[in-house]
Structures are given as C-alpha cells and as structure tokens.
Amino acid sequence: MGDQRHGAGLTTLETRIDAVATRWLEHAPSRGVRSFVVELLVFGLKQAWACVFGALLLAAVIAARLWYPDDADLARNDALVLVAVAIQVAMVSWRLESRRELATILLFHVVGTVMEIFKTGVGSWEYAEGGVLHVGAVPLFTGFMYGAVGSYLARVMRLFDLRFTRYPPLWATAPLAVAIYVNFFSHHYVVDIRWWLVAAVVLLYGPCRMHVRVLRARFWMPVTMAFLLVAVFIWFAENIGTLTGTWTYPDQADGWHLVSVSKLVAWFLLMNLSVVLVTIAHPPRRPDGPEVSPVR
C-alpha cells in the first residue's frame, strides 16, 4: 500500500498491509510503463481502502432495496441503522480508524444530522417512511452517510501522506466553513449567497496545491480540483441513493431521474466544511518532511 517512509500515522492493520505491500513491490520498476501501471494499481487500491466505510454503507443501501422484505418486523430504515452501527463498531474494534478520527466522524454525524432535520422539515428532500430509529423525519443512518465522508477524507490524509503548499490559515478557512453551513439554512429565508461562497472558496484555496504520494511517485493537484472530484463522487452516490428510494428530491416525485447537476455546487461548498472538520484530527502539513509544524 505504500512506502515505509510515510508509514507513520497508519492504523495497526494498515501498517501490516503496508509492510507486506512494500516487500512485494520493493523490486518493482521505478520508470517506464510497468512503473506507471504499478503506481496506478496502488492508487486504486488506496482509494478503495479509503472508501471502505462509504462503500459498505452504500452496499447495504442497495442490498436493502433489492432483497430486504417490505413486510419484515424490523423496518428497512432501522435495519440500515443497525448495519451502519455495526460497520462503525467493526472499524474501530479492528483498528481501521483511530480514536481521534472517530471523534471527527462523530462531529460529522452531528453537523450532518442537524442539517438533515432542517432540510427535511422545509421539504428539500424526504426519506422513505418506516421504523422507530429516527429524529423527526430523518432516519438515524443518515448521520453515518456524512460520517462516511469524514472517514474517507481522514483516511486519504494518512494513506496518501497528503501535504499542502500555500494552505490557507485556519482563521480564514473556519469562518468560511461556518458561512457555508449557515447559508444551507438561511437561503430559505434570505438571499442565497452560494455563488459568492463558491468564489470565496476558489479565491481562498486557489493557490493551494495538494501533494499526493502513491508508491514512489508524488504528484500534486489544485485543492479546488480535489474538492470538485469528491463532489462528483458524492453526486454519483446520491443517484444510487435516490434510485433505491432511500431518499428522494421533490422533482423525483413522479419518477426517478438523475439528481440535478446543480447539487454539485452544494457538495463543492460542503467540502470546505468537511476539510476544516478533518483538519482537527489531521492538521495539514507542508511537503518538506514529517517534522514540519502543521500549516496554520
């Protein structure tokens, strides 16, 4: 899974996998087509490992839609809650997540659930009815969907040994994240400033580069591009969620169709909030060694 030089910070299981992978790949070519293929495979495996929480939860949503009986004593929504709890407990018990990351993920739960309660209350979307494990119209498994985003971001920070150049200071990123979160609520009553917020994110993070280590290679991309790529990934997951009927948007009441591409704007903005929350457990570092102080 990686290079021993950046093994610090991995969980116990990841450290073992990393050691085995390093032995297997220590004689892999460092240049040419074979090197590119190896780097690409390692990149894909790391991404899959980082997505394990969200992938398992999404698989549970699909399985519940395809095979869970409608007349079961335990409602489908409640079954999803129990599955989500089991996944989270297993990840902590098997040391796939650190306790520090768990605290951040729980914060994602709270932030996400509060927004879900409000958004379902004003009719932005709705969940399938049924079950007792819910707050208002919001099944409790929804908090785990936000937690899955936090889990992914925290894991890629470790697995890819992410470093940053020209990362904006916390005194700038935190107020912007708060403004984005508030606008998700306030735009129902006052002017919607989402496009101003998009411009602010681009201006603030535009100079920032994210440096990614795969196996031997390290490459960089603009942080704003990373925000957009993750937003697209979440948009695909949303389409699966609505296709299974787990939740629906008002314009899907007469039949399913692709979730509006405009939702990408919302997820792009939410990435700012998500990254600020994740940096609580994983402060961003510069690409000049593990000893460097966190970028603030």
Give the model's pLDDT for residue 5: 43
The residue type found at 176 is L
**DSSP class of residue 252?**
G
In 51-141, alpha helices (H)? 52-67, 76-93, 99-121
Average pLDDT taken over every residue of the chain: 87
Query: Looking at residue 220, what is its pLDDT?
Result: 92
How far lies 93's CA from each of 17, 85, 97, 133, in Å?
A: 17, 12, 9, 24
User: Is 285 part of a structural domain of the chain?
Assistant: no
Cα 170 from Cα 84, distance rounded (Å): 32
Q: How far apart are CA 100 and CA 104, in angstroms?
A: 7
Q: Indicate whether 72 belongs to any domain.
A: yes
Structural domain for 174, as ranges: 4-278
Write 254-260 long-range contacts (CB < 8 A, 24+).
259/235
Q: How many domains does one find in the chain?
A: 1
Residue 208: CB partners within 8 Å, gap ≥ 6?
164, 165, 166, 167, 168, 222, 223, 224
Q: What percent of the chain is modeled with pLDDT above 70?
A: 89
What is the pTM assigned to this prediction? 0.87
Neighbours of 178 (CB within 10 A): 12
Please check whether residue 292 lies inside any domain of the structure. Answer: no
108 in any annotated domain: yes
| Nearest CA among 240, 236, 232, 242 for reference residue 271 | 232
Confidence of residue 264 (pLDDT cuts 50, 70, 90): very high
Query: What was the pLDDT predicted at 19?
Result: 72
Residue 287 falls inside a structural domain: no
Alpha carbons 82 and 106: distance in angstroms, whole number = 16
Give the model confidence (pLDDT) of 9-66 as tens digits: 677 777 776 677 667 666 666 666 777 787 888 888 889 888 999 999 999 999 999 9
Amino acid at 173: T
- Point out which residues pair with 210 in neighbouring strands: 164, 221
Mean per-residue pLDDT for 195-220?
A: 92
Residue 15 belongs to some domain of the structure: yes
Please indicate, yes or no, if residue 291 is contained in any of the structural domains: no
Residues 142-153, buried b or exposed e (16+ Cβ, 10 A)? bbbbbbbbbbbb
Q: What local confidence, expressed as pLDDT, does residue 289 receive? A: 52
Q: How confident is the model at residue 149 (pLDDT cuts 50, 70, 90)?
A: very high
Lowest mean pLDDT among 20-24, 56-60, 160-164, 217-221: 20-24
Looking at the domain assignment, is residue 290 inside a domain? no
- Residue 294's pLDDT band, with cuts at 50, 70 and 90, is very low
Reported as a single tens digit per residue, the pLDDT across 272-288 is: 899 999 987 788 988 86
Distances (CA, A) of 11 to 3, 67, 90, 158: 15, 34, 14, 9
Query: Which residue has better confidence, 105 or 53?
Result: 53
Q: Give backbone dihedrals phi and psi of 248, rounded to 5 degrees, phi first.
A: -140, 155
Lowest mean pLDDT among 58-62, 165-169, 218-222: 218-222
* Side-by-side strand order, sheet with 218-222: 163-165, 209-213, 218-222
Q: What is the mean pLDDT of residues 123-143?
A: 94
Strands 209-213 and 218-222, by their bridges, are antiparallel
Is residue 160 predicted with pLDDT exceeding 60?
yes
